[in-house]
Amino acid sequence: MDAVKQREESYQKVGKVPILKYIGNPTFLPLSEISDGQLLPEIERTLNLLEEKWIIISRPEGMNDRGFYKFLLDDFLPHEISAYHEEGLMQPFSYHDFRHDHPDFIKSHVQELIEEIIDLRKPFEGIWLSETCRDAKNAISKATVIARVNAFRARYQEIIPIAFSTFKHFHAPDGTMYQEIGVAWKGIPANGNDPEEHDGHGICQVTFEDGEWLVQGVMMAGFEF
């Protein structure tokens, strides 16, 4: 217990430093000056320098050398960590802790937005809405979408989620990304009409904006904007 307490006290006292300083401030070839043939050896040298200080960083499958090297220089090496060092104490990091550009984030952000739309227990804020939204034909503001969602929600006394699923995501010829979805829900109208049941396939338009996948448009069973 004394050893643990001493380690914790040391950890708190030392403060934080950029990873670059933590590994000894080695120099790296600027991205603008490095050739394609130099990229992989320089990446391997960087990863070895990190591992010597017990730091590891994951590399996304399929990411090209120039993109990963740029990430290391721009995002990872300037990242601050505790200056506390203990031999053998491994510090693992994931690329996706820094950049949320993996396709899995499309699915999670789409699902969270749909769940937020039909969850009447709390106000709709549109956390994963883009600032540049679209309906079927026109560009619309995020504020307009929030107003439309709130008007939809006001029609129901209760919305009961039944099922949600995602299918493939794909690029349109113009480069826009779409996520296919399946949504099933039951609505109890606020006006006393018979309950409604909605079930079917839909689609969400998404964009990569400010480091996150954000939803620009939704077409689902029973509602769209």
Task: Tell which of 57, 77, 97 closes a domain.
Answer: 97
Residues 73 and 167 in one domain: no
Domain that holds residue 39: 9-97
Q: Is 120 exposed, middle or buried (0-12, 13-18, 19+ CB in 10 A)?
A: middle
Query: 113 with 91, same domain?
Result: no
**Residues 138, 113 share a domain:** yes
Distance CA 106, CA 96 (A): 13
Asked if 56 and 116 sit in the same domain, the reply is no
Would residue 39 count as lying in a domain?
yes
Tokens at residue 93, please?
Answer: 């990091």
Residues 78 and 127 in one domain: no
The reply to whether 81 falls in a domain is yes
131: domain CATH number is 3.10.450.50
Name beta bridge partners: 57: 93
Among the candidates 97, 131, 152, a domain finishes at: 97
Tens of each residue's pLDDT in the chain, 225 residues: 665 566 665 556 678 999 999 999 999 999 999 999 999 999 999 999 999 999 999 998 878 999 999 999 999 999 999 998 777 889 999 998 998 888 889 999 999 999 999 999 999 999 999 999 998 889 999 999 999 999 999 999 999 999 999 998 888 777 689 999 999 999 999 999 999 999 999 999 999 888 889 999 999 999 999
For 10, 176, 206, the CA distances from 172, given in Å and listed in that order, are 54, 5, 11
Residues 220 and 109 in one domain: yes
Whether residue 3 is contained in a domain is answered as no
What pLDDT shows up at residue 34?
A: 95
